[in-house]
Amino acid sequence: MRGGRRWSTVVLAWSVVLASGCTATAPDAEPKPDALGTELAEPWPDRPVVDLRFDVAEDLGSVAGREVVEFTPDLDTCELVFRAWPNKPATADAGSSLTVTGVRVDGRDAGFREVAAGAPEDAPGTLVEVPLEECVAAGETLTAELRFDVVLGEEVDERVGTSSDAEVAWFATAFPLLAWERGRGWERGPAVPVAGETAVSEDFRLRSMEVAAPSGHEVLGAGQAEGTEDGPDGTTVHRFTAPAVRDVAVAVGDLDVSERTIGGVRVRVGLDRDVEEADGEDWLDQIEASTGDLVDLLGPFPYEDLWVVVLSSQSSGIEFPGAIQFGDVDPAERRGLVTHELAHMWFYGLVGNDQGEHPWLDESFATFAQVVADDDEPYVHGSDGDAPPVGGSMTYWAAEFERPSSTYYDTVYTLGGAALVEARDRAGHDAFDAALARYVAENAHTVAEPEDVRETFADLPEVLAVLRDVGALP
């Protein structure tokens, strides 16, 4: 692993993500184009096509799932590989799990094996490998059907859980996620006991997502709502679809839902019944303010719909493409948190990355965008000592530090975000923002790599020097 770098500059406090910022302006009706007028890259034409079905138990404690994936690899392959992220340490230790119960490939039963890949000893694996009867060539389409069960742990401060008191369930990345990267093949990086993301996924077309939930409960999903119909045994089936997403999030329960169109985006905010700090209109006001400044910096909001659930059992925020889970906080006081999670709609949602191998590509950029959008005041870092490399992988943080989560946050979020702010100051705001617009446009709907950052900012050596100095670029 790369050694620490000496760094003494303006650094953003961790309160960047936690504290409130200045008042923002509301988004324009028609967001301005990016600095170069560059059109976004189109989604991969041969991206996977996914149909999902979630049947939520009456007590909101579990989910029975079915997934159908039409997959056209761009490289030869002899297997299919899926990730079962509810089995990572943070969620598995809290009582949540995902278990695949059956697989069919092209209409025939298929064997499969679970691989721990970082899961706790008593949990199912985070990898599900499906050997194919015959290898397939690039460009050949396979159809896989998987059935699975999800157990939702009680009062989990994470992406998968349920609350009996608040009568709400939430589950995100709670299906077998295809682990393919274009041009690279299967991604098998292990889950780690660090409070951060390790997922990577290409865009897929969500042809249909059905959520069958007890009638009378509200359902927040992903993409565009396509209506409801009566289901079996006192349930209502809610349907959603999306042209290009990397993941989905769902919330079901006794939710107070508010809705507003913000800059052409349909925003729904659902609060569980035990939320106390703010109401739906307060959340919509802050989302509107934060979104306006992000649009000014980064360009049009990447999704036509945004789904936000506020959960009394959670404490912070977790992002998904077109969806966010927040804890019970006052959004005005925690403006930085709101803006940070919204910035992830561009960095990880639109421009993807391998969150296990290169977490700085979404977290550092999201912190940078939040600080610039909120016009936050940085503070001067007091030490001139060695700092870990911003570009470290999640396995690096887990292996090298006694307190990996806090070191990871201080370095990837705080130092990484600060480095990008300083790089912008050194290069000049107009030049940096033009390059950033090009980076977003050219890498939209891809899984970006550090080399893409290097290529984008090649004409701005001041930027590359700062990123090398903090160990973001080798």
Q: What is the CATH number of the domain that holds 450?
A: 1.10.390
What is the extent of the structural domain holding 364?
5-18+355-469
Sequence-distant (6+) residues with CB within 8 A of 45 are: none
Burial 129-155 (b: 16+ CB within 10 A, else e): bbeeeeebeeeeebebbbbbebbbbeb
Q: What residue numbers does the annotated binding site for Zn(2+) cover?
A: 340, 344, 363
Q: 23 and 404 in contact (C-beta within 8 Å)?
A: no
Q: Report pLDDT for 378.
A: 55
CA-nearest of 243, 234, 190 to 215 is 234
Residue 5 has pLDDT above 50, yes or no: no
Q: Is 27 exposed, middle or buried (0-12, 13-18, 19+ CB in 10 A)?
A: buried
Q: Report pLDDT for 10.
A: 47
CA 76-77-82 angle, 5° bins: 140
> Is residue 103 situated within a structural domain?
no
> Is residue 290 situated within a structural domain?
no
> Is residue 157 situated within a structural domain?
no
Q: 466 and 391 in contact (C-beta within 8 Å)?
A: no
Q: Give the pLDDT confidence of 49-94 residue by residue, as tens digits.
A: 999 999 999 999 999 999 999 999 999 999 999 999 999 999 999 9
Calculate the CA dihedral of residues 213, 219, 224, 227 and round it to 10 degrees.
50
Q: Report pLDDT for 30.
A: 40
Sequence-distant (6+) residues with CB within 8 A of 155 are: 161, 162, 163, 165, 313
Beta strands in 1-71 (DSSP E): 5-6, 10-11, 49-56, 62-71
Sequence-distant (6+) residues with CB within 8 A of 114 are: 84, 100, 124, 125, 127, 128, 129
Q: Give the pLDDT confidence of 122-142 residue by residue, as tens digits.
A: 999 999 999 999 999 999 999
> Is residue 455 situated within a structural domain?
yes
pLDDT category at 197 given cuts 50, 70, 90 is confident
In this prediction, residues 327-340 reach a mean pLDDT of 98
pTM, rounded to two decimals: 0.93
* Cβ neighbour number for residue 459 with a 10 Å cutoff: 11
Residue 22 has pLDDT above 60, yes or no: no
Residue 23 has pLDDT above 60, yes or no: no
Q: Give the pLDDT confidence of 367-399 residue by residue, as tens digits.
A: 999 999 999 865 434 444 578 999 999 999 999
> Is residue 446 situated within a structural domain?
yes
Could you give the CA distance from residue 274 to residue 91 in angstroms, rounded to a whole number? 22
Q: Which residue(s) pair with 462 in the sheet? A: none
In this prediction, residues 18-38 reach a mean pLDDT of 39
> Is residue 212 situated within a structural domain?
no
> Is residue 336 situated within a structural domain?
no
Output DSSP code: residue 87: G
Q: 457 and 472 in contact (C-beta within 8 Å)?
A: no
Q: Is 455 exposed, middle or buried (0-12, 13-18, 19+ CB in 10 A)?
A: middle
Helix (H, G, I), strand (E, B) or coil at 338: helix
Q: How far from 360 is each of 108, 211, 354, 394, 397, CA to CA, in Å?
A: 41, 33, 10, 10, 12
Q: Give the pLDDT confidence of 339-368 residue by residue, as tens digits.
A: 999 999 999 999 999 999 999 999 999 999
Residue 463 has pLDDT above 80, yes or no: yes
Residue 19 has pLDDT above 70, yes or no: no
Q: Give the pLDDT confidence of 248-299 residue by residue, as tens digits.
A: 999 999 999 999 999 999 999 999 999 999 999 999 999 999 999 999 999 9
Q: Report pLDDT for 24.
A: 31
Mean pLDDT estimate for the chain: 91
Q: 277 and 321 in contact (C-beta within 8 Å)?
A: no
pLDDT category at 33 given cuts 50, 70, 90 is very low
Domain count, the chain: 1
Could you give the CA distance from residue 66 to residue 253 in angstroms, rounded to a whole number? 21
Q: How far from 167 is each of 111, 194, 214, 235, 271, CA to CA, in Å?
A: 37, 29, 11, 16, 11
> Is residue 425 situated within a structural domain?
yes
Q: State what percent of residues in the chain have pLDDT above 70.
A: 90
Q: Report pLDDT for 21.
A: 32
Q: Report pLDDT for 41.
A: 94
Selected residue with higher pLDDT from 193 and 18: 193
Could you give the CA distance from residue 161 to residue 170 in angstroms, rounded to a whole number? 6
Q: Report pLDDT for 34.
A: 43
pLDDT category at 474 given cuts 50, 70, 90 is confident
pLDDT category at 320 given cuts 50, 70, 90 is very high
Q: Report pLDDT for 377.
A: 64
The counts of H helices and E strands in the chain are 11, 29
pLDDT category at 36 given cuts 50, 70, 90 is very low
Q: What residue numbers does the annotated binding site cover?
A: 340, 344, 363
Residue 1 has pLDDT above 90, yes or no: no
